[in-house]
Structure 1
Amino acid sequence: MYRKGEVSSLKLVAIKTNSKVLISDNVNGESYFYTKLKDYYFDGEKVTDTYHKDWFEIKTLPVKIEKQLPAKRINQRYELKEGFQVTDLTPKVINESYIDEASDFYEIKGLYDFKYETIDAGFEEIPFELTIAQEVEGEFEIIKKDFDPKYNLVDRITTHPVLLQTKPCYLSKEETYRIIRNHVKSNINPKYAKITSDYDFCFTVEKVIDLYKPYEYIVDVNSNYPRRKAKYEKRYRNVRTHKVYEAAPKPYNNYPVVESFSGKNYEDLKQNIDNFLNELMDEINEPVVECKCCKGRGVIINEN
């Protein structure tokens, strides 16, 4: 443990790597926390942001932490505004820092502009206590997280929360289902597929397959009006559908329950999610038509 200062010192926690130090003043891991580290200088330099709001990057373990003091006002005065004559009762300059009711100049205060100059007040050294939570061999970067992964109990107990991204992780079935459902809805090509069930408890996608030959059928256009005489029309169907994907977040009828996304670490988890979604959308959006040679008993995938 590195210590500098006594009771009122700034408490810090750090993760040390081969090339840098990650540092935070949220030593208790509070959910709602306002960091002060952006206001400080660590051995003369400001901290660098990371993807975690409470953690910052510095080059080495700090020897001195300082805070820049507010600039000092000097030569505070009141100067007579332009257009007013200088007299014994209204001097050009009143060398006072503040004019209140007790001042001889209070009645004429409105004729003056308050002016001053500033000088650099320098820095105040901040006493601090720093605990190294862990030293990492090699390199480590705090990465941006788009998902909320889960970790096993042992890793949660033995690993600092910031370093959990390096441990095996997985998503809940509910979040896995939500990610797949939202991605398909945002990227489906309605020319080649359509969503036929879209609920929080089940999801179905069907391929739209062009028929090798339009299918003729008859429909009664007055079927919804019992008192009207039947009126039949000949219509043609140019496509048929075939179920290509279905899923549910938990058991529901005969829907398959999604398998949770998982990975050896957070980056591997994200890569596995991206790969699955890309392959799924390639399958969903791939053009399919019935084969003309075998009169629809087979299909042709990607005519080109």
Structure 2
Amino acid sequence: MNRGKAPASESLKLIAIKTKSKVYVSDNINNDSYFYSRIKDLIFDGSKPENTYKSDWFEVPCVPTTIQRSLPAEQINVRYELKEVHYNTGLPKVLQYSDFDEDTGQYESVYGLYERKFDLTEPGLENVEFELNVIAELEDFEIVRSDFQLQHSILDHITTHPILLSTKPCKLSRQESFNIVRKYIKANIDSKYASVTSDYDFCLSVSKKIEHAPESYRVDVGKRKPKYETRYSRSRTVKVYETAPKSYQTYPVIEPFEGKNEDDLKDIIQKFLDELMIVINKPLVECEHCKGYGVILDEV
């Protein structure tokens, strides 16, 4: 526990996370949902704290030994000076406020001919008394924006401060995992080689277009009596990926993403997406033996 001394006032209570290169501090010791931090207006060992993605957490270079607040400049030598246009009246050029008192002052009737003037002292600093509790010391930790609704074990929720949950094992729901995959595929699919053939909140499927030698087939185009014309097919589609967030028809249910911590989870998600898009966007070449009617394709 670190303590700093200052003039008598309510002690500022802080919690901190110490890392190898920086320290994170917060005065939201009860983790209140609605909280206005006083830290941003303070000075830690001569430096202003830096903002983080959490409005109630700030970054400082090291565990502070002195915390100060700025004091506003004070008015001194307050006086009333005669306005220049009235110099020829013979009135005193400088008066004090007491000179305008209606009972004792003799210049109350000419108050409007004067304007208030003052000098300012230099802004000062005042030490802030504080108590600081280091709740964790980690080799490498950063407060970053989380793009996911992370799920943690009940035990971790009970034993871990919320700001540190990103360092604990976590996973996503099946629905969020599905949404991530769906969004990424739609943003990165190469329409030259594949297309999204089912795109719903409850299922997703992707097919590849396979070119092959022209194959003729007959179509009845007659209205009253049969009339056939020959048409040619030059491609067909092969389903390359399909998934759903929960049981739906024959769609495989997606496995939720899991990681040892949030950073590990992000790496796992990105690795899966990169490998998936390689398969989806990989061109399929017509087989010289079957002319495009047989396709060898690894399942994703």
- One-letter code of the match for 1:185? K
DSSP 3-state at the match of 2:266: helix
Q: Whole-Å Cα distance in 1 between the matches of residues 129 and 37 of structure 2?
A: 16
| Cα shift at 1:290 | 2.6
| Residue 70 (structure 2) pairs with residue 68 (structure 1) | yes
- One-letter code of the match for 2:250? N
Higher mean C-alpha deviation, range 263-272 or range 86-95: 86-95
Q: Whole-Å Cα distance in 2 between the matches of residues 229 and 287 of structure 1?
A: 43
Quote the residue 1:240 is aligned against: 236
Q: Deviations over 1:153-180 (max 9, x none)?
A: 2222222222222221111111101111
Q: Whole-Å Cα distance in 1 between the matches of residues 56 and 220 of structure 2?
A: 66
Quote the residue 2:202 is aligned against: 201
The structure-2 alpha-carbon separation of the partners of 1:104 and 1:247, relative to structure 1 and needing over 3 Å to count, comes to farther
Asked if the contact 1:218/1:232 (under 8 Å) is kept, the reply is: yes
TM-score (norm 1): 0.79
| Cα shift at 1:48 | 2.5
The structure-2 alpha-carbon separation of the partners of 1:216 and 1:44, relative to structure 1 and needing over 3 Å to count, comes to same
| Cα shift at 1:242 | 1.1
Q: Deviations over 1:53-90 (max 9, x none)?
A: 322222332222111112334566777889x5643289
Q: Whole-Å Cα distance in 1 between the matches of residues 253 and 151 of structure 2?
A: 19
- One-letter code of the match for 1:251? S
**Equivalent residue pairs, number:** 290
Asked if the contact 1:155/1:164 (under 8 Å) is kept, the reply is: yes
| Cα shift at 1:255 | 1.2
| Residue 298 (structure 2) pairs with residue 296 (structure 1) | no
Quote the residue 2:11 is aligned against: 9
Asked if the contact 1:291/1:300 (under 8 Å) is kept, the reply is: no
Q: How does 1:64-103 map to 2 (within 5 A)?
A: 64-74=66-76, 86-88=87-89
Q: Whole-Å Cα distance in 2 between the matches of residues 139 and 17 of structure 1?
A: 6
Q: How does 1:119-268 map to 2 (within 5 A)?
A: 119-136=121-138, 138-213=139-214, 216=217, 218=219, 220=221, 235-268=231-264
Quote the residue 1:37 is aligned against: 39
| Cα shift at 1:207 | 1.1
| Residue 282 (structure 2) pairs with residue 282 (structure 1) | no
Q: Please report the RMSD computed on the Cα atoms of aligned residues, expressed in angstroms.
A: 3.6
Q: Whole-Å Cα distance in 2 between the matches of residues 209 and 39 of structure 1?
A: 64
Asked if the contact 2:203/2:248 (under 8 Å) is kept, the reply is: yes
In structure 2, stretches of 5+ residues that fail to align are none
TM-score (norm 2): 0.80
DSSP 3-state at the match of 1:182: helix
State the identity as a percent.
49
Asked if the contact 1:212/1:291 (under 8 Å) is kept, the reply is: no
The structure-2 alpha-carbon separation of the partners of 1:230 and 1:168, relative to structure 1 and needing over 3 Å to count, comes to same
| Cα shift at 1:274 | 0.3
DSSP 3-state at the match of 1:281: helix
The structure-2 alpha-carbon separation of the partners of 1:12 and 1:299, relative to structure 1 and needing over 3 Å to count, comes to same
Asked if the contact 1:290/1:300 (under 8 Å) is kept, the reply is: no
In structure 1, stretches of 5+ residues that fail to align are none
Q: Whole-Å Cα distance in 2 between the matches of residues 277 and 240 of structure 1?
A: 26
